[in-house]
Amino acid sequence: MTDRSTRIPSGRVTDDGHYLVITQTEGYEHNGVVLLDLRRADAKVQPLFAAWDALYTFIGAHGDELFFQTTHEAPLGRVIAVDAREPQAPARTVVPEGTTALEEASYVGGRVITKYVEDAHDVARVYERDGRPVGSVKLPGLGGIEGFYGKGTQSETFFSYTDFLTPRKIYRFDVAANQASLWREPQIPSLSPQFVTEQVFFNSKDGTRVPMYITHRRDLAKDGNQPVLLYGYGGFDISLTPAYRPSVQAWLEMGGTYAETNLRGGGEYGEAWHKAGTLTQKQHVFDDFIAAAEYLIGEHYTRPAKLGIHGRSNGGLLVGAVLTQRPDLFGAALPAVGVLDMLRYQTANANARQWSSDYGLSEDPEQFKALYAYSPVQNVKKGVCYPPTLITTADHDDRVVPWHSYKFAASLQAAQICPNPILIRVETRAGHGAGKPVWMQVDDYADQWAFLARWLGMSTPAG
C-alpha cells in the first residue's frame, strides 16, 4: 500500500464486518482494489483488481460475494460480482452494459439499484442479485436524482428528486415493492405556473449532437432581446442533470432566461463522451459551448449583447477559454474560481496534479501544445475588446489556488482595448466554495447577478 506515494487510499468494511475493501486512486480514469479478510489475525492484503485497467467502485456485499460498479470492458458501465474467497476467479456480470451511461449503483435490500443518465436526465432501475430486472423507479419528471444508499439487509432506502423548477424532494423507496412515496418536500411556492423548461439539441463544430436545457417564462417572445445566462462545466466525467438552485430562481425572477448545456468531457453519454473532451481533445468542450451560444442566438432567444456566460472551477476554465477565443460572442462573462493557467496548474498542490487525467501535463510535448492552444492566461491578446468580465475567487482557496484568477485578471486588464470593465472579486473569508455560509453565497451571487444586470442591459426585475 506504500509503493506509490501519489495514490490515494480509501477503505470500506462490508456490512457483516468480514472484509475491508481498500480502493487506491490516482486520477479519474482507473483505480486499483485490494482486499483484507478481517476475520483472520494473520491475514494479508490480497489484490482484487490490480491491473489499473478501469474504474471499480465497491457497492456492497452478500456474504462472500462482493458487488462492484465498473467500466472494465464496458465504457458505459456495468455491475459485476466477485467471490472474496477466490479473488482471481472471473467476475460474474450482474447488470450488463446498456445503451446509456451507468452513473451510480448501490446494493440495498438484497437488490442492486442503478442510476443511469439518459439524454442528460436521470433514471433508476432495480435488479435482483442474479441480474433479473425488477423494473424502473417511477419519477415525477425529467430531473436529477441522488440516494438509494443503505445496507443490503435494509428494506427501505431514500432518494431525492429535483429539476430546474422543483426544489429537492425526498422520497422513501420500498425496495421489495419497488415503490416510491413522497416523504419530505420544502415549502416553497411552485415556479411551474410562470416558467417552463425545454430540452433542445444542437450540432457542435464537428457535427456532434449536444443537449441543452433552457428555462424561461412561459410567455417568452423569441425576439433576440432576452437576457440569457448560459452555464456549463464539461469535465471529469461529471454529468449535469437538472437541479433546482435558488440563484437560478433569482435570475429567472429578475427577468432572465437560464440555459445549461451538457458538454463533452462530462459523463452524460459514458466514457467515450468524457474522453472526447479531455487531453488533446479538450477543445471539443469549448467548441460545444460556443455552438450552444450560437444556437441561442440563431434561434432568437437572445443576441450577443444580451448573452452572459458562467462557470465554476473547471467551468471557470471553460468561460476563460471561450472568452479568449470568441470575445465577440458574449455580452458579459463570469469565470468563477477557475483553472486558468494550464501550463502551471499542476505545480499548485498535490491535489491539482490529479487533474492531469483530464487536462494532461505541460511536461509532455504533445499535451503542452494542446494546453498552450487554449490556456486562458496564455491566450489573452493585446488590442482585443473583451466583454465585461467579473472574475471571482477566494484567497483561501486551496483547491484551485487564487493566483489563476489574479493572473487572468491582470492579463485581461493589460490587454483590454475598449471601456468594458475587467474586474476581480476576491473573497477573504472562504475557499473553493464547499461549506460557504448562506449569507456569503447570497453576497457572492448578488454581486455577479448585479454585474450581469448592468452589462446585459436588464430592466427592473419582473414581478
Per-residue pLDDT of 233-262, as tens digits, reads 999 999 999 999 999 999 999 999 999 999
Taking the C-alpha atoms of residue 442 and residue 445, their distance in angstroms, rounded to an integer, is 5
Q: Residue 432 catalytic? A: yes
| Helix pair 246-253, 438-455: axis angle to 10 deg | 30
Cβ neighbours, 10 Å, residue 138 = 10
Which of these is catalytic: 106, 160, 239, 313? 313
Say if 462 falls within a structural domain: no
Looking at the fold, whether 317 and 287 belong to one and the same domain comes out as yes
User: Could you tell me the residue range of the domain that residue 91 belongs to?
Assistant: 1-98
163 shares its domain with 277 = no
Last residue of a domain, one of 147, 162, 188: 188
Give the SS3 label for residue 211. Answer: strand
CATH of the domain at 212: 3.40.50.1820
Cα separation, 225 vs 336, in Å, equals 26
Is 313 an active-site residue? yes
Q: Quick one: pLDDT at residue 462?
A: 45
Residue 363 covered by a domain = yes
**In this structure, is residue 39 part of a structural domain?**
yes
Q: Which residues contact 65 (CB under 8 A, 6 or more apart)?
A: 81, 82, 83, 84, 129
Q: Which residues contact 318 (CB under 8 A, 6 or more apart)?
A: 232, 233, 234, 235, 263, 285, 286, 289, 311
Whole-model pTM over 0.85:
yes
Question: 58-111: per-residue pLDDT in tens?
Answer: 999 999 999 999 999 999 999 999 999 998 899 999 999 999 999 999 999 999
> Which of 216, 284, 310, 432 is an active site residue?
432
pLDDT in tens, 157-172: 999 999 999 999 999 9
Look at residue 371 and tell me if it is in a domain. Answer: yes
pLDDT at 463: 41
Please indicate, yes or no, whether residues 265 and 276 belong to a single structural domain of this protein: yes
Distance CA 355, CA 336 (A): 18
CB atoms within 10 A of CB 144: 24
Clarify whether residues 274 and 396 are in a common domain.
yes
Q: How far is residue 17's CA from residue 2's CA, in Å, rounded to a whole number?
A: 24
Residues 150 and 296 in one domain: no
31 grid coordinates = 483505480
- Within this chain, do residues 265 and 347 fall inside the same structural domain, yes or no? yes
H or E element at residue 199 = strand 195-203
Does residue 109 sit in the same domain as residue 225? no
- Give 234-276 as a DSSP string: --TT--------HHHHHHHHTT-EEEEE--TTSSTT-HHHHHT
Confirm whether 463 is domain-assigned.
no
Considering the domain architecture, whether residues 239 and 374 belong to the same structural domain is answered as yes
Cα–Cα distance for residue pair 410/377, rounded to 1 Å = 9
**Collapsed DSSP state (helix, strand, coil) of residue 425:** strand
